[in-house]
Structure 1
Amino acid sequence: MNRESFKISLEKELKDGILNYWLSNTIDHKNGGFFGQITYDNIVHKEADKGSIMHARILWTFAAAYNQLKNDKYLELCDYAYDYIKKVFIDKNHGGVYWMVDYLGNKVDGKKQIYANAFVIYAFSEYAIAKGIQEPLDLAMDLFHKIEEHAFDKELNGYFEAYSEEWVLMEDLRLSEKDKNEKKTNNTHLHILEAYTTLFKATKDKQVGQQLKNLIVLFLDTILDSNTFHFKLFFDENWTLKSDEISYGHDIEGAWLIQEAAQELGDVTLLERVKDTAVKIADVTLAEGIAEDGAIVNEGDPTGITDTDRHWWPQIEAMVGFINAYENTDDEKYLIAAHRLWEYSIEHLVNKEFGEWWWRVDENNTPNLEEDKVGPWKAPYHNGRACLEGIKRFEKLAQTTSIK
């Protein structure tokens, strides 16, 4: 296996597959924004509702792609996405981001899910870096202050999950029906962390930096099980664990995102601690979560694997997590694991007939035809970001090797 050929394969899928698909098939030229639902076989549901998470993920992906690849087409799409999000998803009265609008851009669900608000911070911060302008940063900072004012638990630490349009804590806090109705979750904290990482990168704001460091330490001391090196998933307000589920994708995704956050902060002592943790999480994922075919399974619990399906996003997040572990250790086993995940994804998760990626396949590699390729949760963010990360990291490794 050759790192250069690995990088070339990532570049090809990113440009010709992922980004080209979203540029060519998802823009709602008539009503604005992006279509809210496209099935696996490219049937467009033009009147489907449009989600703030999907739109933010599209903006972030193309802004990050522009920042790395400097393709003007990507920046044009960013301008379009930014204008739409600003117009229809930002609550002009109460602040924050709406959850859902209809196909015409009218609010249909005004709740303030902190997860979604974090993604808009993430997207606006990356877009501000791409454009070199202040307005998206001002809007991102407004969202940051809203989250800190309403959702941050000043007594027990962490962030509550969801609020009404008027910022009243909701009874049903769930992101989706499959989630437990608990006040604090690993998932939301992870995506606040990635949002604050990019906001800090763009602003170097002291308060953002303080809260980012707090999140890193919270993950290390509270959310991580230091005996198993799995991240715990659901908690009540007192940080009492409310589930024993293991999400292998969230484990390995969290490992590299927390390291990225510590690197951005520049805290050397914290970074060394995070690097050690990231490698230990990679080791556990490799030992427990990787199937014989090289794919990462979806879920487990203390008794073993409970869900052998291969969802698209854990495959590709695990690839980055293993490349990250390789950078930390120079141990080829992690690079081999990353390459196997990439080869598996290209072979079984890319929808070769209709474009983009399947949501998931089962252990026999049979795709699930009921789940859409474009929807409230499905955007180019996971697979697009993983390609960008892989390319960037291999380029850095090549420079380091040539210097040596």
Structure 2
Amino acid sequence: MGMWRDSDWLQSHIQRILEFYHPDCIDTAHGGYIAQFDEETGDIYEKRSKHLVATCRFITNYSIGHRVLDRNWCQSACEHGLDFLLDYHHDETQGGFHWIVEGREPIDSKRVCYGHAFVLLALARAKEADIVSWDIPLVETTDFVMERFWEDEHGLCKSEYDSTWTRPEAYRGQNANMHMCEALIAVYEATHDDQYLDDALTIAEALTVALTQKTDGLIWEHYAPTWEHDFMYNRETPNDTFRPWGYQPGHQIEWAKLLAILSRHSEADWLIRRAEELFRLSIDYGWDSDRGGFYYSFDREGAPVVTEKYSWEVAEAIGAAAALYERTGDSQYLDWYDTFWQYATTHMTNSEFGNWYTKVTETNEPVPTTEGIAVEPGYHPIGACTEALRSIA
């Protein structure tokens, strides 16, 4: 049995990841968090840029740290980030949240569904962790976000607006909706309001069942305004940060995890069936059986497109395997859980500090992030540990 099935090891792994960033990530000059860390050395390479996704992921991480590890510094760090989110990312005039803040000034105010989903997740996790020194406006914010982004005729969310909420982007995307589903599950778990669970199930069925009828059960990333598949969108930019072309094995298996989690709250018979199918499709098309790891993407014929391997993919696979083992009792998922952890601890983890690299090459050589605005302060591996604690340990 691997050490990664042990609750003490999983908790210590969460703490090591948090401590890679903490306390240097706490911006005492401007508020909020500093996310731009050299993943090899731990040095900070830029201090002023605040991405909405990074802010919310830090809040989520510290909420989990407070709840799972019972560390006082996690609570104070979480409150520090919540203050910045609601004072500086939040737009009091127009409503919603700025995408990028420089210091304390917004420099990109487009309204992005993907980012707003992480706002809801962060607020829900903070409420779940009883970090409530003031009233967290979870329900009010969730209802506002859903009112703005939700398209009732499709049971899915728009992707983006301008800063005044007057011009919706034509593009529709699966990624934003997947994370909105994740967020709505968290809001439901924090409030027990069935409306949020119903909305999460509606998104899940639309994307993993209805829209996969034309793609042999696989989930495509990009869509036209009325939710027809757009197979040419970003064809020339398969490495795009948020909207890469091609099928993503990581998203097939991330959906497998979300469907397994939904099955805790719903008796819908399609949830586990589709979760198991998506888990298998991700392995069949994306797992490198020789060297381990998931290719980043594959084309419509099933051939790898981007062969670099991102850590979020194997982290989501760990969570999916854990949840599916809990929900089915099938030992194959426990075997895959061990396989994924073996790969992650060997190739994705910085052995000196315990943080995870964003990505490695096809042959598993680390590619540390040393420039650009960062959005992933350990959210995915901490999530993997959290799901493992809930499902296995």
State whether TM-score is above 0.5. yes
SS at match of 1:123: helix
Q: For residues 93 and 225 of structure 1, do their structure 2 counterparts lie closer, same or farther at Cα, with a shift above 3 Å needed?
A: same
Aligned: 1:255 with 2:256 = yes
What does residue 242 of structure 1 align with?
A: 230
Find the counterpart in structure 2 of residue 296 from structure 1: 294
Aligned sequence identity (%): 21
1:318 is matched with: 317
Secondary structure, counterpart of 1:88 in structure 2: helix
Q: Which residue identity does 1:301 align to in structure 2?
A: D
Larger mean Cα displacement after TM superposition, 211-220 or 356-365:
211-220
State the one-letter code of the partner of 1:274.
L
Q: Is the 8 A contact 2:25 2:34 kept in 1?
A: yes
Q: How far, CA to CA, are the matches of 1:33 and 1:42 in structure 2?
A: 18
Asked whether the 8 Å contact 1:372–1:378 carries over to 2, the reply is no
Q: Can you list the C-alpha shifts for 1:298-343, whole angstroms capped at 9, x where unaligned?
A: 1112322222211110011111112223233333332222212211
In structure 1, C-alpha distance between the alignment counterparts of 2:266 and 2:347, rounded to whole Å: 40
Give 1:139-218 correspondences, 5 Å limit.
139-171=137-169, 183-218=171-206
Question: Any conservation in 2 of the 1:6–1:339 contact (CA below 8 Å)?
Answer: no
Shift of 1:224: 3.5
Q: What's the offset of the Cα at 1:250?
A: 0.7
CA distance in 1 between counterparts of 2:152 and 2:125 reads 28
- Structure 1: gaps spanning 5 or more residues: 172-181, 396-404
Bigger shift: 122-131 or 36-45? 36-45
Give the Cα separation in 2 of the matches to 1:223 and 1:67: 37
- SS where residue 157 of structure 2 aligns? coil
- Displacement, 1:60? 0.9
Aligned counterparts of 1:196 and 1:136: Cα–Cα separation in 2:
19
- Residue aligned with 1:45, SS: strand
- Return the alpha-carbon distance in structure 1 between the equivalents of residues 372 and 73 of structure 2: 20
Shift in Å, 1:351: 2.0
Specify the alignment match of 1:333 in structure 2.
332
CA apart distance, 1:66: 2.0
Alignment of 1:391-402 (within 5 A): 391-395=389-393
Match of 1:275 among 272, 292, 309: 272
C-alpha distance in 2, partners of 1:377/1:71? 24
1:107 is displaced (CA, Å) by 1.3
Deviations 1:264-285 (A, max 9, x none): xx331x1x32011111111222
**Cα displacement (A) at 1:29:** 2.0
Contact 2:35 2:375 in 1 (8 A): no
Q: Does the CA-based 8 Å contact 1:51-1:101 persist in structure 2? A: yes
- TM normalised by structure 1 equals 0.86
**Partners in 1 of 2:76 and 2:86 — Cα distance?**
16
Q: Deviations over 1:344-389 (max 9, x none)?
A: 11111112346522111112222224x3499432222101111111
Cα pair 1:252 1:321 within 8 Å, conserved: yes
After superposition, the Cα gap between the structure-2 partners of 1:341 and 1:209, relative to the gap in structure 1 and judged at 3 Å, is: closer
2:87 counterpart residue number? 87
SS in structure 1 at match of 2:150: coil
1:109 aligns with 108
Instruction: Give the Cα–Cα distance (whole angstroms) in 1 for the partners of residues 211 and 9 of structure 2.
Output: 35
Residues 128, 136 of structure 1: 8 Å contact kept: no
Alpha-carbon offset, residue 227 of structure 1:
6.2
- Kindly indicate whether residue 61 of structure 2 is the aligned counterpart of residue 64 of structure 1: no
- Work out the CA distance in 1 between the residues paired with 2:79 and 2:46: 22
Deviations along 1:88-123, one digit per CA (max 9) or x if unpaired, are 1111111111111112x1111111111111111110
CA distance in 2, matches of 1:149, 1:227: 30
Counterpart Cα distance in 1 of 2:59 and 2:114 = 16
Superposition RMSD in Å: 2.4
Question: Which aligned pairs between 1:351-370 and structure 2 lie closer than 5 A?
Answer: 351-353=350-352, 356-369=355-368
Aligned match of 1:175: none
1:121/1:195 contact within 8 Å kept: yes
Q: Structure 1 counterpart of 2:261, which letter? A: E
Assess, with a 3 A threshold, how the Cα gap between structure 1 residues 37 and 134 changes in structure 2: closer, same or farther: closer
- What secondary structure does 1:168 align onto? coil
TM-score, with structure 2 as normaliser:
0.88
Asked whether the 8 Å contact 2:261–2:323 carries over to 1, the reply is no
CA–CA separation in structure 2 for the residues paired with 1:211 and 1:134:
29
Residue 96 of structure 1 corresponds to 96
Q: For the residues of structure 2 that align with 1:48 and 1:354, how far apart are their CA atoms?
A: 24
